[in-house]
Amino acid sequence: MQTDQVDSFYGPERRAHSSVPGSAIQYEQAWRLRRAEDRLYRRELEFKTLVENSPDVISRIDTGLRHLYVNPAAERSFGIDAPSFIGKTICEAGLPKEMDEAWKTAAQQAFAKRCEQQFSYKVEVGGEDRSFTTRLIPERDRSGNVLSLLAVTYDTTARTRMEKERDDLLLRERAARIQAETAARARDEFLAIVSHELRAPLNGIQSWTHVLDNYTADVTPLGKRAIEGIKTGVAQQVRLIEDLLDATGMMSGKLRLTRRPMAALPAIQAAVESVKPMADEKSLALDCDYRISREQIEGDPDRIQQIVWNLLTNAVKFTAEGGRIMLTASREDSCLRIDVRDTGIGIAPAFMPRLFDRFSQQDSSSTRHASGLGLGLFVVRHLVELHGGSISVESKGKGHGSQFTVLIPLRAGGSRRQAAHCHDACSLPSLQGLDILLIDDDAEARESLGALMSSQGARVTTAASGADAIACLDGSARALPHLVICDIAMPGEDGYAVLRRLRNWRDTSGDRPLRHTPALALTAFSQREDRLRALSAGFQMHAAKPVAADELAIMIMNMTRRDL
């Protein structure tokens, strides 16, 4: 049991005549004072222990900016022991002038404004640049006067380095992104130019081939075979260019579909018809089982045809002569199912996981039997996925053939309209009575297309540039053109500028008779962006070179509103 300590005081109790009858004892308790002293001592001890062992430099400076106290952390941070700071300023303690100026400026503001100041600086310690941040906290008396400043200094070297590394990483990342974007643009521009340069001559080859095939008398069987071989080569070259451009668009995420309600069967049949000559050349049996009629999907007809064409040509490529290819189109629940089976070489199990990768080929040696870039199945998978579908493959291994299965969702609630009748590609529509202005800087393209359309009855005026076209219009007594066919990539003035000149051309009466004349952009730039730009520039239609004779004739008839 704790008892209070008591201090006793004895003093006489005096009365009249200075008599002392006795003594009075007064007691005063001193325990409260002693307890307060104990608490103060403990707090001072705790504070001292905390400050002395703090990793941060803690100091107190007076109004003359001299140190009254510095804890031991100063030696770890600045390489100077704590006693050497007492009574000295930063400069007098031997620290750099830059640090002294920073402290002096901040301390003067703290005394003047009577509020906390914070500042950062760098100091070379032991040959190493180190970063610090200091807080100067005013210490006031009861009247509010600032008597001293409590300084707390943090070593921020590690954090500063991390921030610098982060900033450097961001700069490198930004530079890498800009470099990648620049490389992607350069790649796209390069491929567009390559596509243009490859397609342009193919347009002349295809047009002249059609002229030879249909308008040259007494062609020998060997000549007919040569013409068919040229046609096949042109078609394969065009498909290879399109696969290369499509793969690039898929890798960059720029490939888009023009989806609309469409009957699936006509697109599948069109792909089959285009592959039959290749199958016949290898004596392959191409059997088709159509279990659908008017089923519709939300799709892009050209891309659906491309999917089936790629699967069939892949089967033709890897099936030996005398083999068999089976195509089945059916309905499975709410999906369109397309199966392509073959009796070809099959697929090795080890290669199956890489089958749909770009530039992936089961046999990539110089002695391989099949040609190609390994893009067909890569393109097929992405096109199927863009239609919301899936593709799978089965094969029991080499020598046992393979089966590809494509599933594409059917259009929910869509009307089942009969597929439009397709004209026989061999009987071209007549262009009799049509006046056509053809503008192309390539002489071969002008001559071959001009001969092709003239053979179908059209009156064709050719020009190598916009200036030539205007000169033909100014000096010609012939009727104005019913249709303008214009190339896009031309030196000096592209097709967009040429079309604007034609729209603004005035005849002798001052009218602008061509401002509503239909215009067809016939160009080797075939991407979706090229088509959109052409339509936005005022062209009514966009066609990619090389264009088939029957397709060109049908487009011309549609644009001039003539019955086919």
Residues 381-423: tens digit of each pLDDT: 989 998 999 999 999 888 889 999 999 999 876 444 443 334 4
Interatomic CA distance for residues 426 and 430, integer angstroms: 12
Interatomic CA distance for residues 299 and 407, integer angstroms: 13
Task: Tell me the sheet residues that pair with 120.
Answer: 133
Give the tens place of pLDDT for each residue, 98-140: 888 889 999 999 998 989 999 998 888 777 888 899 999 999 8
Interatomic CA distance for residues 60 and 148, integer angstroms: 7
Interatomic CA distance for residues 339 and 393, integer angstroms: 10
Q: If you count them, how many residues does the chain have?
A: 564
Give the tens place of pLDDT for each residue, 268-319: 998 998 889 889 888 999 999 999 988 899 988 888 988 999 899 989 988 9
Instruction: Give long-range contacts, CB 8 A cutoff, 24+ apart: 108-116.
Output: 110/136, 110/137, 110/138, 110/146, 110/149, 111/63, 111/138, 111/146, 111/149, 114/138, 114/140, 114/144, 114/146
Report whether 450 contacts 462 (CB < 8 A).
yes
Instruction: Give long-range contacts, CB 8 A cutoff, 24+ apart: 475-482.
Output: 478/435, 479/435, 480/435, 480/513, 480/514, 480/517, 481/435, 481/436, 481/437, 481/514, 481/517, 482/434, 482/435, 482/436, 482/517, 482/518, 482/560
The total of other beta-carbon atoms located within 10 Å of residue 143's CB is 6
Interatomic CA distance for residues 561 and 421, integer angstroms: 18
Which domains, ranges and CATH numbers included, belong to the chain?
1-50 (no CATH), 54-155 (3.30.450.20), 259-409 (3.30.565.10), 435-559 (3.40.50.2300)
257, with CB counted inside 10 A (0-12, 13-18, 19+), is middle
DSSP structural state of residue 441: S
Higher local confidence (pLDDT), 230 or 512: 512
Interatomic CA distance for residues 267 and 355, integer angstroms: 25
Cα–Cα distances in angstroms (integers) from residue 122 to residues 78, 99, 102, 110, in the given order: 11, 8, 10, 21
Residue-averaged pLDDT of the chain: 81
Give the tens place of pLDDT for each residue, 288-298: 999 998 889 99
Q: What 3-state DSSP class applies to 477?
A: coil
Sign, CA torsion 446/449/454/455:
positive
Higher local confidence (pLDDT), 110 or 374: 110
Interatomic CA distance for residues 241 and 244, integer angstroms: 5
DSSP structural state of residue 353: G
Give the tens place of pLDDT for each residue, 441-491: 988 888 888 888 988 889 999 999 999 999 888 876 677 899 999 999 888
Please name which of 333, 258, 253 lies closest in space to residue 299, comparing C-alpha atoms.
258
Residue % of the chain over a pLDDT of 90 = 26
Sheet holding 390-394, edge to edge: 285-290, 324-332, 335-342, 402-409, 390-394
Report, as an integer, the average pLDDT of 249-256: 66
